[in-house]
Amino acid sequence: MLRVKLAGKVAIVTGGGRGLGRAIALRFAAEGAALALAGTGAPHLETTAAEITAHGGRALALVTDVANEAAVAAMVAATVQRFGRLDILVNNAGIAGPTAPIVEAPLAEWERTLAINLTGAFLCTRYAIPHLIAAGGGGRIINISSIAGHIGYALRSAYAASKWGLIGLTRSTAIELGSHDVTVNAIAPGSTRGERLASVIRDRAVALGRTPEEIEREFFVGQNALKRMVEPEEIAATALFLVSEEARNITGETITVSAGFRL
């Protein structure tokens, strides 16, 4: 008999309106989870929520700035009020940050990148933890890091620092929550097709005086063992595995999905 993997589960996916967040939300919904989609783009959140409900699922769109503590607290409270519990948190919300040498990168852009990409994950985790524990075991947290969390990334210091930080947050939180049967893992995508990477490629091309096609080929595909982009649905499949019962003994890990970047 066909059995969905997340029946009865409730998940929050930040940045859930588009890109990786949308792909993860749709995959979780297809496996029976109720979804709270959080982010700053109301139209994208509402479109994704409508798609889930049109297919018989349950979804809630919550406009939320994850760098704002009060907004995060309200987002978690609204989710639990609507669905009665919380089992899964996916910290996916993030921005690309500045593309510039460190000596030229504006301090305000550095601070905003860390506020959203790292502090936002910290705040969401802080407010989700009591509910994940209260759900009675088997809670899951996934932090979406990046291959930039493993390597030096010239011209992208703020982004790389935030993604390295997410891996440290993942390992530390996993230790704290292990006794409560809550697992915490990170996914580090490589060059993943979508709007964000396209924007990064354009910005890098401008900064280096090259064409976007050259930048994509040299920096984002040419350094992959498989010579291709990662698809958002492949990240979603990895996320589904990590929140499933099959992964109950995986915690504190960072799973890289990068088509073999720099192998």
Q: Would you please indicate which residues are annotated as catalytic (active-site) residues?
A: 145, 159, 163
Contact 35, 49 (CB under 8 A): yes
Secondary structure of the chain in HEC code, one letter for each residue: CCCCCCCCCEEEEECCCCHHHHHHHHHHHHCCCEEEEEECCHHHHHHHHHHHHHCCCCEEEEECCCCCHHHHHHHHHHHHHHHCCCCEEEECCCCCCCCCCCCCCCHHHHHHHHHHHHHHHHHHHHHHHHHHHHCCCCCEEEEECCHHHCCCCCCCHHHHHHHHHHHHHHHHHHHHHHHHCCEEEEEEECCECCHHHHHHHHHHHHHHCCCHHHHHHHHHHCCECCCCCECHHHHHHHHHHHHCHHHCCCCCCEEEECCCECC
Measured in degrees and rounded to the nearest 5, phi and psi for residue 11 equal -130, 140
